Amino acid sequence: MVKARPCQLLHTFLLALVLLKVDGLFVNITYLQSAVAKGAVCLDGSPPAYHMDKGFGTGINNWLVHIEGGGWCNNVTTCLARKNNHLGSSKLMSKLVAFSGILNNKASYNPDFYNWNKIKVRYCDGASFTGDVDAVNPATNLHFRGHRIFLAVIAELLAKGMKNAKNAILSGCSAGGLTSILHCDTFRALVPMSAKVKCLADAGYFINAKDISGAPHIETFYDDIVRTHGSAKHLPTSCTSRGKPGLCFFPQYTVQQIRTPIFLVNAAYDSWQIKNILVPGVADPHGTWQKCKLNINNCSPAQLRSMQEYRLQFLHAVPPVGSSTSRGMFLNSCYSHCQTELQETWLMYKSPMLYNKTIAKAVGDWYFDRSPFQKIDCPYPCDKTCHNSIFDPAEQPIV
Please name the amino acid found at residue 127. A
184/201 Cα distance (integer angstroms): 10
Polymer length in residues for the chain: 399
In the residue annotation, 300 being an active-site residue is answered as no
List, as one string, the DSSP characters of 294-344. H-GGG--HHHHHHHHHHHHHHHHHSPPTTS-TTEEEEEE--S-S--SSSHH
182/50 Cα distance (integer angstroms): 20
Q: Give the active site residue among 66, 183, 229, 337.
A: 337
CA–CA distances in Å: residue 78 to residues 35, 92, 151, 399: 24, 17, 25, 8
What does residue 204 show for φ and ψ, rounded to 5 degrees?
-110, 5
Geometric angle at alpha carbon 112, from 106 and 114, rounded to 5°: 30
Q: Give the active site residue among 90, 174, 271, 351.
A: 174
In the residue annotation, 51 being an active-site residue is answered as no
367/75 Cα distance (integer angstroms): 38
In the residue annotation, 392 being an active-site residue is answered as no
Q: Give the active site residue among 23, 132, 270, 392.
A: 270
What are the catalytic residues? 174, 270, 337
